[in-house]
Chain A
Amino acid sequence: MSKIETESKRNQESKIAVEHLRMEYTSNNKNFLALEDINLNIEEGQFVCIIGPSGCGKSTLLSVLEGLYTPTGGDVRINGIPVDGPGRERAVVFQHYSLFPWLTAKKNVSFSIAQVNKNIKKTRADEISVEYLKKVGLEDFIEKLPGELSGGMQQRVAIARALAVSPEILLMDEPFGAVDAKTRVVLQELLLNLWESDGRRMTVVFVTHDIDEALLLSDRIIFMGPKHIRCDIPVAFPRPREKSELYATEEYAKLRVELVNMFYDDIADKIDIEGGWL
């Protein structure tokens, strides 16, 4: 393939392209199939939520996109380039405990900046770090260690750390799964505001098992069943979204019922197959 052809292929290709992805683990000499024939295209600027029951492989799929797992089959391309480990165009927010406990909030963020931009001066990295910590509302906690922050605040730092490297793609693995309900609402709004107010509109892949969270945040919901994608649901509510307004609309209620039913169908399936599952 000539260079021009490659270029044009890149241009027409999706931001994230997954083809026939297969993921198999070997543990204790036993093979375990986590994902089978996953096909998925995510366009630039899309906010995609991956939702599904626990154990369906949604976190595994995200880990493949993060570059932490090497797929055992199929192709994963970002910007048309096959994924080979983590990359600087991607930033990740894990569920919990991903900050370095020996670094202050500020230093955690500037550490990540320094990894992406090797020649940056320490003082400049710190400046950017403070700027992003302010954006997530932590201006009074800049010099605190993670152990001195609440779970919600730690996730704010993790978000600041991810955004501070100006990634093209933000990968989030149940980022609000470990915080209390009230904090979760606050963090969802924070994320939504940051994403909507940013002119670039990052591509976001967000794994969750919370239907309301997915409906509030995403443009598109990928509903996963065990090892495969069950369906792909567009979420076309207008933006900027306001939680209270959104909840009042009929479309929201309809879509929500549909998704909830799908969740329970899934459990019903399991009962049929395995018998006496509950």
Chain B
Amino acid sequence: MKKYLLTLPNLLFVVLLGVVIWPYSELAKIDYYTKNPSKLHEPTVFLVVLVLIHIYYLVQSRRNNKYRVANDIATVVYLLLLAWELVTMKFNIVSRIYIYFPPPENIFYVFFSDYKEILTGLVYSMRLLVIGFTLGIFLGVVLGLVVGWIPRLRKAVFPIAKAVSSVPALVYTPYVVMLMPSFIFASIFVIFLGVFWPTFMNMINRVGTIDHKIIDTAKVLNTPLHTTLFRVILPYTLPRIINNLTVMISVAIMTLTAAEMLGSNSGIGYFIRKYSVMIDYTRTIAGILFIALVVTVLNWLVDLLKKKLVRWDY
């Protein structure tokens, strides 16, 4: 028990709580531009988040094999937060820095004060993301399966696909946004392309280089073509598809947020752009942190999917 109590993260957690609760200079509360006390200055949300982080750490560190890793990660996170808190709130090093580097209390408070706008944006963005992403993965997998299976088609399509897919979707995003009748179409389209090409290429490759023993086995078992494609080759390629999902999610988020910064009026990318234009960096950073959170949750879902679907590849 003693071993658990006297850890570095526990110590840092207590110090951090103390520092946040400790009185700070009144100057820090003043908004640089308006010269009025900042409406966002409210440490409760930050304190709640800290407690949640610590509970999560405590749960993770109780798992035998995770003890050291959980300790190291928590230590790094707490040190960063502590440094951030000290530089901004406590020592208020230069008030001019303050607008560029808002204190953590303010940023976490945005999640509470602006939750409606953030959630609306999330729903808006997720709708585009899910549609574009699903279409891209689905068509990439099915077309890749068919093209990869027929050698003549594969040899014809592969070099073309390779050339086209080497251009990142991000590059032609502005053009597509301008070209398409509505922003929704445009962003779904660029997300689709961003996800489709790599998935398609990967599928062709994987199907083309499939272990011939697998195919021979399917043949001698008298497996018809459609069963071979969807019940032999598809499961064979599934681990690769799922491993790529993590990368694909990053690609999709990247193209989506880029598109939103160009021509949207809602969404998580739009949130960041809107407030950075307004020089409200507290909300800008809150938006950035929020995207990080969303990507983390999505990746965590992919991991769950992986454990469920491709148990055999571990």
A-to-B contact residues, CB < 8 Å: 66-68, 85-88, 90-92, 94, 97-102, 111-112, 115-116, 145-147, 161
Question: Of the candidates B213, B219, B221, which one forms a contact with A85 in the assembled complex, judged by CB atoms under 8 Å apart?
Answer: B219
A112-B221 contact in complex given A98-B213, A100-B235, C-beta closer than 8 Å: yes
The CA of A94 and the CA of B211, in the complex, are separated in Å by: 14
Are B312's CB and A102's CB within 8 A? yes
| 30 A–B pairs (Cβ distance < 8 Å), ordered by A | A66-B220, A67-B219, A67-B220, A68-B216, A86-B219, A86-B221, A86-B222, A87-B222, A90-B220, A91-B220, A94-B213, A98-B213, A98-B216, A98-B217, A100-B214, A100-B217, A100-B236, A101-B313, A102-B310, A102-B312, A102-B313, A112-B221, A115-B221, A115-B222, A115-B223, A115-B224, A115-B227, A116-B221, A116-B222, A147-B312
A116 vs B232: C-alpha distance in the bound complex, in angstroms? 16
- The CA of A79 and the CA of B261, in the complex, are separated in Å by 71
Residues in B neighbouring A97, C-beta threshold 8 A:
211, 213
Query: 7 closest A-B pairs (Cβ-Cβ)?
Result: A92-B220, A102-B235, A102-B312, A98-B217, A86-B220, A112-B221, A145-B312
**Separation of A67 and B313 alpha carbons in the complex (Å):** 30
List of A residues within 8 angstroms of B216 by Cβ? 68, 94, 98
* Docked pose: A87 CA to B313 CA in angstroms: 31
- A91 CA to B232 CA, complexed, in Å: 18
- Residue ID in chain B nearest A101 by CB atoms: B312
Q: In the complex, what residue of chain B is closest to A85 when comparing beta carbons?
A: B219
Complex-state Cα separation, A92 to B222, whole angstroms: 11
Which B residues are closer than 8 A to A by beta carbons?
211, 213-214, 216-217, 219-224, 227, 231-232, 235-236, 238, 310-313
A101: chain B residues at CB < 8 Å are: 312-313
Looking at chain A's contact residues, the main secondary structure is: loop
Bound-state CA distance A68–B236 (Å) is 21
Q: Note all chain A residues with C-beta closer than 8 A to B213.
A: 94, 97-98
> Which residues on B sit within 8 Å (CB–CB) of A90?
220
Q: How many Å lie between the Cα of A116 and that of B224 in the bound state?
A: 10
Query: For B236, what are the chain A residues with a Cβ–Cβ distance below 8 Å?
Result: 100, 102
Q: In the complex, A85→B232 CA distance in Å?
A: 19
Residues in chain B near residue A88, CB distance under 8 A? 222
CB distance from A151 to the nearest CB of B (A): 14
For B222, the chain A residues whose CB sits under 8 A away are 86-88, 115-116
Contacts of A99 in B (CB 8 A): 217
- B231 neighbours in A (Cβ, 8 Å): 111
Residues of B within 8 A of A92 (CB): 217, 220
Contacts of A115 in B (CB 8 A): 221-224, 227
Assembly CA distance A116 to B223 (angstroms)? 8
Interface centre among B221, B231, B312 (most CB of A within 10 A): B221
Return A126 CB to nearest CB of chain B, in Å. 16
Residues of A contacting B217 in the complex (Cβ-Cβ under 8 angstroms) = 92, 94, 98-100
**Given known A94-B213, A97-B213, A98-B213, contact A68–B219 (CB-CB < 8 A):** yes
- B-side contacts of A112, CB under 8 Å: 221
Closest to B224 in A: A115
- Give the distance in Å from the alpha carbon of A91 to the alpha carbon of B222 in the complex: 9
A100 / chain B contacts, CB cutoff of 8 Å = 214, 217, 232, 235-236
Distance (Å) between the CB of B223 and the closest chain A CB?
A: 5
Other A-B pairs, 9, CB within 8 Å; known A101-B312, A111-B231, A146-B312 = A67-B220, A91-B220, A92-B217, A94-B216, A97-B213, A98-B213, A102-B310, A116-B221, A145-B311
Q: How far is the CB of A20 from chain B (nearest CB, A)?
A: 25
Q: How far is the CA of A66 from the CA of B221 in the complex (A)?
A: 10
By beta carbon, the residue of chain B nearest A92 is B220
B313 to chain A, nearest CB (A): 8
CB distance from A149 to the nearest CB of B (A): 12
For B234, give the chain A residue with the smallest CB separation.
Answer: A102
Instruction: Kindly list chain A residues whose C-beta atoms are within 8 Å of the C-beta of B235.
Output: 100, 102
Of all chain A residues, which has the CB nearest B215? A68
